[in-house]
Amino acid sequence: MADVPKDLLDQINKLEDLFIVDTQKLKEVTDQFVSELRRGLGQDDATIPMNPTWCMAFPDGNETGTFLALDMGGTNLRVCEVTLTEEKGEFDIIQSKYRMPEELKTGTADELWGYVADCLQQFIEYHHGDEKIEQLPLGFTFSYPATQNHIDHGILQRWTKGFDIDGVEGKDVVPPFEAALAERGLPIKLTALVNDTTGTMIASAYTDPLMRIGCIFGTGCNAAYMEDCGSIPKLAHMNLDPSLPMAINCEYGAFDNEHKVLPRTPYDIIIDKESPRPGQQAFEKMIAGLYLGEIFRLVLLDLHQSHDCEVFAGQDISKLQKAYSLDAGFLSAIEEDPFENLSETHDLMQNKLSISCTKPELELLRRLAELIGTRAARLSACGVAAICKHKGWETCHVGADGSVFNKYPHFKVRGAQALKEILDWPENKGKGKGDPIEILPAEDGSGVGAALIAALTLKRVQQGQNAGIRDPEAMKKAAELARKARPSK
Ligand code: BGC
């Protein structure tokens, strides 16, 4: 950075002070995280909800049958038909993707459920034509915080990830969804409402017995892990066998909503204030893909307006003024620019924002992207470390999915390094591969994972283990029909 003038260097130093999270802070965050996870297991109104999901077993590889899986993600809606075959741990999958129109995210509940049901209908018509299907069990991946007293229902606690549809929060999402299916006469039985993290954990455990945690580092962030019922005081009144497993959807994007420990910057505060749900998802807003580009944009705007330095002086910055105009992919591209003169970053800024950058400005952009991306990876590690510390797990595998984990450069290495610092691993660890706790790319959670959870649910009902099943008789019938519905190959 020899050619960067003093005013910009000073700004870079200031940004480093704001965004660098040192080992000590990581440890402090993790310790607070552990106590918040525990609080969530004990009471209903804790900041981290620690939602019991009624997914009460890992797969053993012998699950069979044909299942639909629906994933209502932020950008796409995916429908899969998953056939778990007789061969242990194997499956066939067919799938279709549908665009999730941006307007739906802020539209009405009827429009949402109508659209989702239309996609399912198209899928069945396209893949099954006139074939007579009695009923297909469905694992519905609904990746928002939901209170579940049963596996086939879920009261939306609050929308996250920029969704803002009136009249859904505080209500069970299953009845209106089922009504939309019924209106279209679709032969589908919602068998399990699944969080993407639980699906990720279960899908990954299908092929890897060391899997203990499923994580998403994507548009949002969160994790699920397998608890034992005896360690969930808020379920004590149900007198469940304490040794029974229970997948917990932590919903830890909400960690530190009280702002006690996370090193928030003025930019994080603006993001929160201007979001549809201020005061919520404090942790997620600092690390998840939806927000990384926005943090970057806010810093640049601030620098442009500052009297202490010259950034984009004399240029038209109107495009930069548009909220959420930059996504995490923009930062990824800057971090990936292979050229010494950052010519790709120059072109990106020109093409996307019509801003022509000087070389020192490009250096600043690169450093800023690194700072934001590194902070996200390091803070993300605190959540994983906290679950492991809470459970006393010194070694295990963690299955991770999501656009940030899969596509953001260096995210995995930075996360592994942070885990090493938090957990005091020896010097030769913290590289990812071969670490005591390894975060690995997950199997398809919202396809295979959701199907497996539906299969495990039906298996449980057939064995008479009805805890967390809304209507065991109806579910038993579904299990019988599911077997009949399996297409002959
Ligand atoms: C949601 C979680 C989800 C995570 C990752 C968060 O915003 O609240 O339910 O698991 O995003 O998709």
Q: 45 with 115: CB under 8 angstroms?
A: no
Whether 161 is in the pocket of ligand 1, judged by its Cβ within 6 Å, is yes
Q: 20 with 423: CB under 8 angstroms?
A: no
How many CA atoms does the CB half-sphere of 80 hold within 13 Å? 23
Asked, for residue 241, whether it belongs to a domain, the answer is no
Whether 403 is in the pocket of ligand 1, judged by its Cβ within 6 Å, is no
How far apart are the C-alpha atoms of 227 and 249, rounded to whole Å?
10
DSSP characters for 247-268? EEE--GGGTTTT-SSS---HHH
Predicted pLDDT of residue 133 = 86
Predicted pLDDT of residue 75 = 79
279 with 151, same domain: the answer is no
378 with 401, same domain: the answer is yes
419 with 361, same domain: the answer is yes
Q: Using the 8-state DSSP alphabet, how is residue 402 labeled? A: S
Which atom of ligand 1 is closest in space to residue 142's alpha carbon? Answer: 9
342 with 472, same domain: the answer is no
Asked, for residue 217, whether it belongs to a domain, the answer is no
Distance 10 CA to ligand 1 centre (A): 37
How far apart are the C-alpha atoms of 341 and 329, rounded to whole Å?
20
Q: Is 143 a catalytic residue?
A: yes
CATH number of the domain enclosing 26 = 3.40.367.20
Residue spans of beta strands (DSSP E) within 62-187 = 65-72, 76-84, 91-99, 136-141, 146-147, 155-156
Give the residue, out of 195, 277, 284, 387, with the most ligand 1 atoms within 8 A of its beta carbon, to mutate for a pocket test. Answer: 195
Whether 377 is in the pocket of ligand 1, judged by its Cβ within 6 Å, is no
**Residue 428 dihedral angles phi and psi, to the nearest 5°:** -80, 0
Classify 185 as helix, strand or coil: coil
Predicted pLDDT of residue 488 = 43
Asked, for residue 239, whether it belongs to a domain, the answer is no
Indicate which residue of 78, 152, 158, 327 is catalytic.
158
365 with 462, same domain: the answer is no
Give the residue, out of 55, 144, 156, with the most ligand 1 atoms within 8 A of its beta carbon, to mutate for a pocket test. Answer: 144
Whether 251 is in the pocket of ligand 1, judged by its Cβ within 6 Å, is yes
Total-model pTM: 0.96
Whether 370 is in the pocket of ligand 1, judged by its Cβ within 6 Å, is no
Asked, for residue 103, whether it belongs to a domain, the answer is yes
How far apart are the C-alpha atoms of 34 and 430, rounded to whole Å?
21
Q: Is 196 a catalytic residue?
A: yes
28 with 164, same domain: the answer is no
Which atom of ligand 1 is closest in space to residue 144's alpha carbon? Answer: 9
Predicted pLDDT of residue 3 = 82
77 with 24, same domain: the answer is no
User: Mean pLDDT by 10-residue block, N- to C-terminus, for the chain (489 residues)?
Assistant: 87 98 98 98 97 97 93 89 90 94 92 96 93 92 96 96 93 97 96 98 95 97 98 97 97 98 98 96 98 98 96 96 97 98 98 97 98 98 98 98 97 98 95 93 94 96 93 91 62
Whether 197 is in the pocket of ligand 1, judged by its Cβ within 6 Å, is yes
Residue spans of beta strands (DSSP E) within 298-415 = 396-401
How far apart are the C-alpha atoms of 298 and 295, rounded to whole Å?
5
Nearest-CA neighbor of 114 among 180, 185, 70?
180
422 with 459, same domain: the answer is no
Q: Which residues contact 221 (CB under 8 A, 6 or more apart)?
A: 215, 252, 253, 283, 284, 287, 288, 380, 383, 402, 404
Predicted pLDDT of residue 74 = 75
Predicted pLDDT of residue 489 = 45
Predicted pLDDT of residue 443 = 86
338 with 409, same domain: the answer is yes
420 with 474, same domain: the answer is no
What is the token pair recorded at 67?
């299942």
Asked, for residue 229, whether it belongs to a domain, the answer is no
Distance 291 CA to ligand 1 centre (A): 13
Whether 71 is in the pocket of ligand 1, judged by its Cβ within 6 Å, is no
CATH number of the domain enclosing 469 = 3.30.420.40
Number of domains in the chain: 2
Give the residue, out of 161, 164, 275, 401, with the most ligand 1 atoms within 8 A of its beta carbon, to mutate for a pocket test. Answer: 161
Strand-pair category, 221-228 with 245-249: antiparallel
**Residue 290 dihedral angles phi and psi, to the nearest 5°:** -60, -30
Closest C-alpha to ligand 1, atom 12: 220
Closest C-alpha to ligand 1, atom 11: 220
Question: Would you say the C-alpha torsion 221, 423, 32, 297 has a positive or negative sign?
Answer: negative
Indicate which residue of 71, 152, 172, 196 is catalytic.
196
Asked, for residue 388, whether it belongs to a domain, the answer is yes
Whether 144 is in the pocket of ligand 1, judged by its Cβ within 6 Å, is yes
Asked, for residue 167, whether it belongs to a domain, the answer is yes
What is the token pair recorded at 189?
């039985």
Predicted pLDDT of residue 485 = 60
Asked, for residue 213, whether it belongs to a domain, the answer is no
How far apart are the C-alpha atoms of 226 and 57, rounded to whole Å?
8
Whether 195 is in the pocket of ligand 1, judged by its Cβ within 6 Å, is yes
The residue type of 485 is A
How far apart are the C-alpha atoms of 57 and 34, rounded to whole Å?
24
- Domain residue limits at 320: 1-46+251-394+396-435
Distance 263 CA to ligand 1 centre (A): 22
Whether 380 is in the pocket of ligand 1, judged by its Cβ within 6 Å, is no
Predicted pLDDT of residue 487 = 53
Q: Is 366 a catalytic residue?
A: no
15 with 102, same domain: the answer is no
371 with 404, same domain: the answer is yes
